[in-house]
């Protein structure tokens, strides 16, 4: 190998190594760190008399959103509020007694089953306990 081409190689190798040395931390910096999160299993979703029959609320369930619906007969149901289509937050519609997503017109029944529109899967159903401290929602049965 001639001295000239040897030096070219050397510059190339060192140059690439240097570029990689700079690029690696930059690339790692750009990717957000994974923050370990305690899995939420149980939350207090509402105060005892917060919801009138026919009303609903969206409540935080860990980093997710849940929907708590109070039926006309006073019973409660809780489901994941994240639409299975493109993750918008759903709402309860009293008139049709159904769950509706405004983003792409997806409709579920109150059991969380996808009835019409684009949602491909049912909403996850959670378990409700009515206790002295309020309405407690817990992971558990799936729809």
Partner 1 sequence: MNGRLGGWLRGRLGLDVFTHLAEKKEVPVHKHSFWYYWGGMTLFLFGVQVGTGILLLLYYRASADEAYESVRFIMTQVHFGWLIRSIHSWSANLMVGAAMVHMFSVFLMKGYRAPREATWFSGMALLGLALAFGFSGYLLPWNQLAFFATKVGTDITGDLPLLGPFLKRFLLGGEQITGGTLTRFYGFHVAVLPAITTALLGLHLYLVQFHGMSVPPSVEAAGGPRRSLKFVPEFLLRDSVGWLAALGVLGLLAALFPWELGLKADPYVPAPPGIRPEWYFGWMFQTLRVLPAHVLGFEGEFLGIIAIGLAAAVWLLVPLLDDPLGRDRRARLWTAVGWLAIAYVVILTGLSYR
Which H/E stretch holds residue 101? strand 98-101
Binders in 95-134 for partner 1, by CB under 8 A? 101-105, 114, 117-120
Alpha-carbon span 86 to 123, nearest angstrom:
12
Q: Does 91 bind partner 1 (CB under 8 A)?
A: yes
Binders in 39-68 for partner 1, by CB under 8 A? 58-60, 63, 65, 67
> Which of 123, 64, 63 minimizes the C-alpha distance to 92?
123
> Which of 133, 25, 140, 23 minimizes the C-alpha distance to 78?
140
Smallest distance, partner 1 to C-beta of residue 82, A: 9
- Candidate segments 6-14, 47-55, 77-85, 132-140, binder of partner 1 by CB under 8 A: 77-85
Query: What's the start-to-end Cα distance of the chain, in Å?
Result: 71
Alpha-carbon span 42 to 103, nearest angstrom:
28
Residue nearer to partner 1 on the CB measure, 35 or 72: 35
| Residue ranges binding partner 1 (CB under 8 A) | 30-32, 35, 58-60, 63, 65, 67, 81, 83, 85-91, 101-105, 114, 117-120
């Amino acid at each position: 190998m001639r001295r000239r081409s040897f030096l070219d190689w050397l510059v190339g190798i060192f140059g690439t190594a240097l570029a990689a040395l700079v690029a690696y931390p930059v690339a790692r910096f750009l990717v957000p760190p994974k923050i370990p999160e305690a899995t939420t299993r149980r939350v207090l979703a509402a105060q005892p008399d917060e919801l009138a029959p026919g009303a609903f609320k969206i409540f935080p369930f860990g980093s997710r959103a849940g929907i708590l619906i109070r039926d006309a007969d006073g019973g409660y149901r809780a489901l994941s509020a994240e639409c299975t289509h493109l993750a918008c937050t759903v709402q309860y519609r009293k008139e049709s007694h159904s769950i509706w997503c405004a983003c792409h017109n997806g409709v579920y029944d109150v059991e969380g089953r996808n009835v019409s529109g684009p949602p491909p899967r049912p909403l996850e159903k959670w378990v409700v306990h009515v206790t002295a401290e309020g309405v407690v929602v817990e992971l558990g049965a799936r729809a």
